[in-house]
A and B are shown apart, each in its own frame.
Chain A
Amino acid sequence: FVEERSGVGSVLREYGSEQNLLSKPDGSASFIQGDTSVLAGVYGPAEVKVSKEIYDRATLEVVIQPKVGMASVRERAREQCVRETCEAALLSTLHPRSSFTLVLQEVHDDGSLLSCCLNAACMALMDAGLPMGRLFCGVTCAIDAESQIITDPTAQQEKESRALMTFAIDSKDCSVMMSLTKGSFSVKELQQCIAVSQKASERIFQFYRDSVQRRYSKIL
């Protein structure tokens, strides 16, 4: 009974990705989780404005565009989360005095948007062939009223949840690179969610590997 109950929420919705679908950016990818969909484009390494130049590494700029209306504080907050995660993964010291620009376009929001943004960002950075020390993925967990952990919640499940957490997990040793939480939860619940996210991240990293393998299957 317990297994069945815990099995209800603990699925990742069907997910997919397409790389290199835009011609202009140096790297691009779309990532889809259920109905949630995000499109990412990366430019770089390119020229940087003098005011933003950093002498020993590349400047990373992240822009998230909402589907309706102008970017607001919520987008700014997400941008910062994604930027800090990417900065930790990218080996930006290899491109001093240059810029990377990552543009994320929300195509459809049906919950877990930030984790979808992170996944799309990672796929696009891979497509652009930028040097990275590790890969990362995003996993969102929700804790519902019955204290069940739901991975990859839909917008409806997010609304009904008591707490919502998004983690960026790194591929090297499955450590947490970024976390964003909302609502109240106990320390134990937080640890459980991290453990669940680490388990879920294995699937996403496997997906990354599969898609890269598929992409270069003709060349190798």
Chain B
Amino acid sequence: MIDDAGGTTLVRAGSDHAHSGHCFAAALRAPVRSHRLAVAALHRLALAGPTSSHGARRNSATEGLQKRVFTATRRVKMRETPLSNCERLFLLKAIEEKKRLDGRQAYDYRNIKITFGTDYGCCTVCLGKTRVLAQVSCELVPPKDSRPTEGIMFFNLELSSMASPGFQPSRQSELLVTLNRQLERCLRNSKCIDTESLCVVSGEKVWQIRVDVHVLNHDGNLMDAASIAAISALCHFRRPDVAIQGRDITVFSPEERDPVPLSIYHMPICVSFAFFQQGTYLLVDPCEKEELVMDGLLVIAMNKHREICSVQSSGGIMLLKDQVIRCSKIASVKVSEITELINKALENDRQVRKEGGKFGFAESIPKERITALKREQAPVEMKDIEETADEIVREAEAPSEAVHSPVIVATGTGQVGEGLQNTWGLEEEDAEEEFQGGMDGKEKKKDEVMVISDSEEEEVVILKPEAQKSKSRRPKN
């Protein structure tokens, strides 16, 4: 009951600053209040906890957690829905009880689905609801001066705004940089691809392999999904064959010569571990909600030979030696499972291509799902197309043939069509002039008329030539 009450107050504090437009004020106000609340909450936790040491541990955990909430609200764009405090507490409580929102066990991965496209080197990976698209492409470029006999690997991970409303295109966010760097370390620095075989002419032409990874839906654990997608796409990719004769390089199209696969030594795969309560609890493959409440993240890249390719710990938690060792043991199991899955998917695709069956994304639309529908090739009736078109053309009005001859107002100017000439005051003038010829007595009256106009210049300079011109033009018409 006490816990309940604590829960509600915490929620209020949370929703206060989450929904107010004034982040700054909230942030200023927050520390005092949160501290008080956190301490209050912790007293209860400490009372409820089995041992005092455990309580103390939680104490610092919750305080750290509170701090992070506020930094997060300040940094994250308002469009991303923040996690409410009661959701946060619920999740943490569930994790303590070894329960996960989607009913998985602590070391379970979500379903992994790998689909290859029609192109070589194109693949989508679905990790639960997280969805990632990878495409490998290649290009002949001059090599780097420092490594004239090595091909170039280029990784480009993109957080599309489709994946989450908080992701903005064309902005280097912190998350993007971290993911991109991790992907590079996992795949380039582990030397899983033989870059020397990508050399065509030493010092002049090498293949640049470009891997584009697009995140399409963000439901946590982007790193694992991206690394699986990237390595599967690299394994699936075929580059055009080349022949060198003297100084000439011939690149063969796929019709002329079969494209060549890349030579891949091993397949490093990232496995993410989320830590909660300062490392007390450990979860494999955290979903998005779990990522929001975790204290720290450990990403281990490993291949199926149990060789560690990179380890990265983030979030600022201190891990013990045996925790890391335990994680690496779990990773080795997961990696061998995933590698097997990738190989099976690759083998499947190869089989279908060889047999000339249908492949690509069009085939991967689930047929049994109620939200999906597919139609076979459909003919379009073209019987009376000609007649309809003829009729429309006939019925359409002929464009007016008359083209206005240009009117030359003065030398060096041109005008097409009826003029936009200022006729203010001129009408009367003209009429007067027509009727009364060049009577001197009327000059003054003209001046009087022009006084209405507030431009002095017109009055003095322009008026006379204008009047003369209209006089001289009249006979012509």
Contact = CB atoms under 8 A, between A and B. Distances in A.
Given A18-B369, A105-B214, 11 more contacts: A7-B382, A14-B375, A15-B374, A17-B373, A18-B365, A19-B371, A67-B212, A107-B117, A108-B118, A108-B361, A217-B370
Interface string B279-291: 0000000000000
Given A107-B361, A199-B385, A46 B376 contact: no
A101 B371 contact: no
Nearest to A44: B165
9 contacts: A10-B380, A12-B378, A13-B377, A35-B362, A47-B78, A105-B216, A110-B118, A151-B380, A210-B373
Contacts of B218: 24
B380 A12 contact: yes
Interface of B: 78-79, 117-119, 122, 124, 129, 131, 133, 135, 137, 158, 160-165, 169, 210, 212, 214, 216-219, 360-362, 365-366, 369-382, 385-386, 388-390, 392-393
Q: Closest 5 A-B residue pairs measured CB to CB? A: A16-B374, A191-B389, A41-B162, A103-B162, A18-B372
A215 B380 contact: no
Interface residues of A, number: 61
B388 A19 contact: no
Contact of B374 (A7, A14, A151): A14
A188 B390 contact: yes
Contacts of A15: 374-375, 378
Candidate in B122, B362, B377 with the most chain A CB atoms within 10 angstroms: B362
A171 B376 CA distance: 21
B370 A18 contact: no
Contact of A16 (B78, B124, B212, B362): B362
B371 to A, nearest CB: 4
Contacts of B217: 22-25, 41
A50 B414 CA distance: 46
B376 A14 contact: yes
A30 B169 CA distance: 21
A203 to B, nearest CB: 5
Contacts of B161: 43, 63, 101, 103
Nearest to B166: A24
Given A10-B382, A34-B362, A215 B374 contact: no
A220 interface: no
Contacts of A6: 382
A32 interface: yes
B380 A11 contact: yes
Given A46-B165, A218-B370, A192 B378 contact: no
A214 B378 contact: no
